[in-house]
Amino acid sequence: IATRALDSVTVDPVRRTARIGAGASWGRVIEAAAPHGLAPLNGSSPSVGAVSYTLGGGLGILARKFGYAADHVRSLDVVTADGTARRVTPEREPELFWGLRGGGHRLGMVTGLEIALVAVERLYGGSIVFDGAWAGEVVRGYLEWTRTVPDTLTSSLAALVHPDLPQLPEELRGRYVISVRVAFTGDAAEGERLVAPLRAIGAGSVRGSHGAADSPVLS
Ligand SMILES: Cc1cc2nc3c(=O)[nH]c(=O)nc-3n(C[C@H](O)[C@H](O)[C@H](O)COP(=O)(O)OP(=O)(O)OC[C@H]3O[C@@H](n4cnc5c(N)ncnc54)[C@H](O)[C@@H]3O)c2cc1C
């Protein structure tokens, strides 16, 4: 079943909700919510489907403050295997409502859902990419750093090998890197201050025997 054509997104700024068709990506929901000073609980990529993401639980870039996307669902439109179209809410179908929000991929065909939006107008965020040869220092430093920051700052760490493709910045092509992603809902100056210890990981270290670059930060 292709859901691509079910791509409507409607925001209700008074109720702070969005109704999303099964074919809409997070990027479209973000664009529709932002003019009202609102945001959905999307994940790391704007091209991922908002409904399928939420059916799997959805742990996104504001997760420490707001939790799982599935916990902000108000109602779901579902066609179950018996061919019945249902509006699923906590009052009308409590068990199906519970099961769909996390285990939803196998309980029916979800054609759309209504979610609550959060009042987030600005983000300070991005990613700092470290040379993979410094993985030990970076993971240790990152873990210590996470204990010091408030829950208005959510972060994640990924170890990945970038493909050798011309679309990528030269310093990342074909390299093993450690990427630390940060999203902070406070102001930019405070974000800078909170992130400074991350940027400083490895500062002052000498070039190691493992062939690391002189500085662990690549971009
Ligand atoms: C680049 C990228 C970044 C990501 N970042 C995050 C992140 O930050 N946090 C996070 O929690 N997850 C993240 N994910 C995982 C993402 O939540 C899941 O891959 C999610 O299932 C994506 O849906 P899709 O539309 O891309 O995939 P699809 O392959 O279309 O769907 C995934 C599953 O859901 C089923 N399904 C799809 N639509 C429906 C529907 N309408 N009704 C019933 N079942 C349906 C499909 O049959 C399939 O089993 C990321 C994924 C990618 C590719």
- Per-residue exposure over 170-187, b if at least 16 CB sit within 10 Å of its own CB, e if not: eebeebebbbbbbbbbee
Cα 173 → chain centroid: 24
Q: Domain 9-116 adopts which CATH fold?
A: 3.30.465
Backbone angles phi, psi at 111, to 5 degrees: -95, -20
Check: CB of residue 148 under 8 Å from CB of residue 164.
no
* pLDDT tier, 206 (very low <50, low <70, confident <90, very high otherwise): very low
CA of 214 to the centre of ligand 1 (A): 39
Tell me where in the chain the CATH 3.30.465.10 domain(s) lie: 9-116
Say yes or no: CB of residue 56 within 6 Å of ligand 1: yes
Per-residue pLDDT reduced to its tens digit, 100-122? 998 877 899 999 999 999 999 99
Per-residue pLDDT reduced to its tens digit, 118-142? 999 999 999 999 999 999 999 999 9
Tell me where in the chain the CATH 3.30.70.2520 domain(s) lie: 124-199
Per-residue pLDDT reduced to its tens digit, 168-200? 999 899 999 999 999 999 999 999 999 999 999
CA of 195 to the centre of ligand 1 (A): 30
* CATH classification number, 124-199, choose in 2.60.40.10, 3.40.50.2000, 3.30.70.2520, 3.30.565.10: 3.30.70.2520
CA-nearest of 36, 44, 28 to 183 is 44
Length of the chain: 219
Atom 19 in ligand 1: residue holding the nearest Cα: 53
